[in-house]
Structure 1
Amino acid sequence: MRLYGRNWTRRELEARVGHIGQIGGVRRMTLTEGKEAGTEIVRVRTGAGLAFDAVPSKGLDISHTEIWGAPVSWQSPNGDVHPMYYEPEGAGWLRTASGGLLMTCGLTHVGSPSEDASGSYGLHGRAHHTPARHVCLREEWIGDELEWSVSGMVEETSVFGSQLRLTREISGRLGENRILIQDRVENVGFRPAPHMMLYHFNFGFPLLGEQTVIKLPFADSEARDTHAPLSRCSTWETPRAGVSESVYYHHLRTEAKSSDGMAEASLHNPVFPAGGTTHPVTVKLRWSADTLPILVQWRMPGAGEHVLGLEPSNCKVEGRAVESERGGPLMLEPGATVSYKLELNVF
């Protein structure tokens, strides 16, 4: 294992600690106050500076995330609200969305509230507010490497309606500032089911600063809103009250894919604060380009709502009815599956 600037064997490390949790690992706990009471979280520490909270109570999404004690993610004013407070109608999702590093949007609806012949759908769907089951934590030595994982299953089902199952594994190794997310969505029902999926990654201060540079993959880009110039996509700014959000669609080109089929976007801050001083830090987000061919960019440099969303997706965000007018959404046949792979690295 590479740790603290040198290579170690398992036994060399074990000789120096009472328990490997002294260095890092996974730990389950439950919040107890206010609207967060009852929310279960899994604290993951990589031992190399990266730490985050996976939240089984909320779709096994990822909440607060930090590197060397300084946050990477943006947290909403709601906190890690227990899903019992979720309001599925209209824009009620905004009252209980946690922010954090990742909010999963889907599984049958993404984007603006929408209504079609099959019913009404609230903002961004139900996945972020659906508790996972069969949650499993793992720490396992493989030779001199300690691998960790958090896995579980999230189901969105309805009598006479869609029956989709998301199986998720979040994994990595002690000593590496890397998070790997592997998802599989399966139609376990007996009729075709619409499937919309968006990975709502939220980055915030101090990773976001006036010096931060945003690098996007090769894509054909368009702004959803007329007031949003494309020139703003690669820079950041000082927070201002009353700023309007802007949304961009980056349709991946063939050359955006690397040899392993992944596309990549990154944020670079040359003066990220850590250890009482500043260091250049780059956060890279990679995802499977074939199954997530659109990168949605949500730009919100407001006061309080000071957040950049980089959101690999299989759809746009105007809602299911509009997506149907465009020839979508993706339909999963009975028994069919689709897989997604995402990876976050901090350098």
Structure 2
Amino acid sequence: MREFKAGKSPAIFLDETSVFDIGACVVDGINIAPGRAIPDDGDARIDHSLEGFLFTCGPDHIRHPEPIENDAAGRTYPLHGSFSSHPAEITTWEVSDDNAHAAVRVPLTLADGGTALLERQWRIDGATGIVSLEDRVTNTSDTARPVFHMYHMNVGARLFDDGVRLQGAMFEDGGFGWRFGEEPGGVFCVPAGEGWAEMTLGPIAAIGGRTLKVAFHTETLPYLQMWRNQQAPAHVMGIEPVSHRWVGRAELEAAGEFHMLNPGEFRTYGLRFSIL
């Protein structure tokens, strides 16, 4: 893990072994990632990624495993797709007290035998503490393929009290307490709006009353999925900007909602967050 920080930002630790996702996210000495308070889905890649603050799903699949189309062996796409566990090749690393910039290339081998390239850039504005992520995913295969994308931002709910709320224009009545749905957890997925969608989680008394603010570009991430799991030993909440509705691949394809990339074509995604 490489520490990445500037000015007012939290200290985030970027995972060179897994697409430069975020492992620990430290605010005033407290790691707000869930750590081992996560469900065990039986996939070591995801087990490793889920304990961190942010990991990336796709580009060949998101959510839980489903059959690979026309696969004679009956294989499935892996849990949350093929991104996790691909090592990153660092091309830029510039860190100062004022600003920070890191860039990587991640050649990807997909579950169906295709290939893709993730080009990822992290930036920090030290004056505002805003951490920004820009991703470009290119189809390097020799045939057209659909592309999917989801960011899991995972927060340790051990830090929450009853004062913590979700707020954003995409939520019913503009927001509600963090214990949405029935116990011990649940999932929902809603349209995120247009332009840069914004939502907040807080205030979090355990880190000095700070609030996590998340924004993402809805041109390619038009939905926000929210997940929480308090089924012991799990104690985690996920903020999940996502490219597709919460339905199966077959339904998405039938509705014409696959985003197809021809060889050499790419799709971009943008996210930013602050904890202030």
Q: TM-score, normalised by structure 1?
A: 0.69
1:57 to 17, 20, 33: 17
**TM-superposition CA deviations, 1:235-275 (whole Å, max 9, x none):** 135xx9xx54411011133xxx3xxx210110122x6235x
After TM superposition, the structure 1 = structure 2 runs for residues 265-344 of structure 1, keeping only pairs within 5 Å, are 265-269=199-203, 272-274=205-207, 279-344=208-273
**TM-superposition CA deviations, 1:189-235 (whole Å, max 9, x none):** 3321111110011122455322101113336xxxxxxxxxx89x721
- Which residue is equivalent to 1:203? 155
Cα distance change of structure 1 residues 217 and 71 upon mapping to structure 2, 3 Å threshold: farther
Q: Shift of residue 319 of structure 1?
A: 4.7
Alignment pair present for 1:248 and 2:188 = yes
2:143 alignment partner, SS class: coil
- Which residue is equivalent to 1:222? none
Structure 1 spans left out of the alignment, 5+ residues = 1-40, 79-86, 220-229
Alignment pair present for 1:46 and 2:6 = yes
1:263 to 184, 187, 197: 197
CA contact (8 A) 2:17 2:86 kept: yes
Aligned Cα root-mean-square deviation (Å): 2.9
Cα distance change of structure 1 residues 151 and 303 upon mapping to structure 2, 3 Å threshold: same
1:130 to 77, 86, 95: 86
2:114 to 162, 167, 171: 162
Structure number, greater radius of gyration:
1
Distance of 2:44 and 2:256 partners within structure 1 = 27
CA contact (8 A) 2:32 2:156 kept: yes
- Which residue is equivalent to 1:66? 26
**TM-superposition CA deviations, 1:257-313 (whole Å, max 9, x none):** 3xxx210110122x6235xxxx33111000001110010111223333111111011
Alignment pair present for 1:173 and 2:125 = yes
2:84 alignment partner, SS class: helix
Q: TM-score, normalised by structure 2?
A: 0.85
Q: Which AA in structure 2 matches 1:236? A: W
2:160 alignment partner, SS class: coil
CA contact (8 A) 1:268 1:283 kept: yes
Q: Shift of residue 127 of structure 1?
A: 0.7
Distance of 2:45 and 2:247 partners within structure 1 = 15
Q: Shift of residue 159 of structure 1?
A: 10
Q: Shift of residue 329 of structure 1?
A: 2.5
Q: Shift of residue 94 of structure 1?
A: 4.5
| Identity level (%) | 24
Distance of 1:146 and 1:252 partners within structure 2 = 32
Structure 2 spans left out of the alignment, 5+ residues = none
Distance of 1:106 and 1:159 partners within structure 2 = 10
2:67 alignment partner, SS class: strand
Higher relative contact order (CA 8 A, sep 6+): 2
Distance of 1:317 and 1:156 partners within structure 2 = 25
CA contact (8 A) 1:236 1:301 kept: no
